[in-house]
């Protein structure tokens, strides 16, 4: 592999950017081959403190990488062949993340038989999570404390508003640009404002089960036309596939195939 950044040869044409040249192996008059195998197992990893974290954790990524090659003559001194295979397989790895999602208490507020209830109870709608996140307050979600929300657990969750006023007119509305805060004009954060006692939103530590497989096939054929002339053909076939939830809900299954 070679990267060329200046002084291009005429054979490279008029390309102005950096050029990457890759020369693959070719067969010879002798048969040669190779094999390799690498595995990455979480139960073999040590627990460490990453990024100054308070508790030790470990790298839970799991994958295997293996492959091999073989090359040799088809017609001695004339035609040679070479083949290489490599793959990386990552089975059922949980990709961690954080995000604001509705709580079970919020889902329970949907009236029975309503469209909201059908959506919130749809199989797979629940967020795959490992518990509440730390260090993210309501401001992190773009909500202002005492103006839009109140906390049920400091730094973690926000309480819903207006449930006591469901189906009634909000007298605090004066215009589309000033819709009020609910509570018949009593305002937000003041006595009598309609904030509930349960959380609508929570910042969860989430998991996204992901399976990824990448394979590379490389074949090459070379022929000596004369003592001074040689012709070659090479091909790379690189299929990849990924399966995950494209988020953190089981109903949002995402399957992707591609070939490079």
Quick one: how far is CA 11 from the chain centroid?
A: 41
Tell me the pLDDT tens digit for each residue of 35-50. 999 998 888 888 877 6
**Under 8 Å between Cβ of 207 and 126:** no
Split the chain (260 residues) into runs of 10 and give each run's mean pLDDT: 75 72 87 94 80 67 92 95 95 77 79 86 78 63 49 46 49 56 42 52 79 94 92 94 85 88
Rounded Cα–Cα distance for residues 62 and 129 (Å): 20
Contacts of 225 (CB under 8 A, 6+ apart): 231
Tell me the pLDDT tens digit for each residue of 112-121. 888 888 888 8
Residue with tokens 């002084």: 7
Tell me the pLDDT tens digit for each residue of 1-11. 888 777 667 77
Rounded Cα–Cα distance for residues 161 and 111 (Å): 16
Quick one: how far is CA 260 from the chain centroid?
A: 20
DSSP E strand boundaries for the chain = 2-4, 19-21, 32-40, 63-75, 79-102, 129-132, 157-161, 195-224, 230-237, 239-244, 254-259
What pLDDT is stored for residue 148 in this prediction?
Answer: 45
> Which secondary-structure segment (H or E) carries 107?
helix 104-107
Q: Tokens in use for 121?
A: 């109870």
**Under 8 Å between Cβ of 158 and 187:** no
């Amino acid at each position: 592999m070679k990267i060329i950044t200046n002084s291009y040869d005429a054979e490279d044409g008029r390309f102005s950017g950096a050029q990457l040249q890759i020369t693959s192996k070719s067969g010879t008059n002798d048969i040669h081959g190779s094999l390799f195998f690498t595995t990455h197992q979480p139960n073999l990893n040590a627990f460490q403190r990453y990024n100054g974290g308070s508790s030790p954790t470990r790298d839970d990524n799991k994958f295997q990488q293996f492959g091999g090659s073989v090359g040799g003559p088809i017609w001695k001194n004339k035609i040679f062949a070479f083949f290489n295979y490599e793959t990386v397989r990552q089975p059922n790895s949980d990709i961690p993340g954080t995000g604001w999602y509705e709580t079970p208490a919020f889902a329970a507020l949907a009236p029975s038989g309503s469209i909201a209830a059908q959506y919130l109870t749809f199989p797979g709608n629940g967020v795959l999570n490992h518990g509440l996140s730390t260090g993210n307050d309501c401001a992190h979600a773009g909500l202002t404390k005492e103006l839009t929300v109140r906390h049920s657990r400091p730094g973690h969750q926000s309480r819903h508003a207006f449930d006591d006023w469901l189906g009634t007119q909000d007298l605090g509305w004066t215009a589309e640009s000033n819709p009020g805060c609910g509570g018949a004009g009593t305002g937000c954060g003041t006595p009598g404002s309609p904030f509930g006692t349960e959380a609508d939103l929570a910042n969860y530590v989430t998991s996204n089960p992901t399976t990824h497989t990448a394979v590379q096939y490389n074949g090459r054929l070379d022929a000596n036309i004369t003592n001074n002339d040689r012709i070659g053909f090479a091909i790379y076939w690189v299929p990849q596939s990924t399966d995950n939830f494209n988020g953190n809900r089981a109903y949002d299954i995402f399957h992707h195939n591609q070939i490079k």
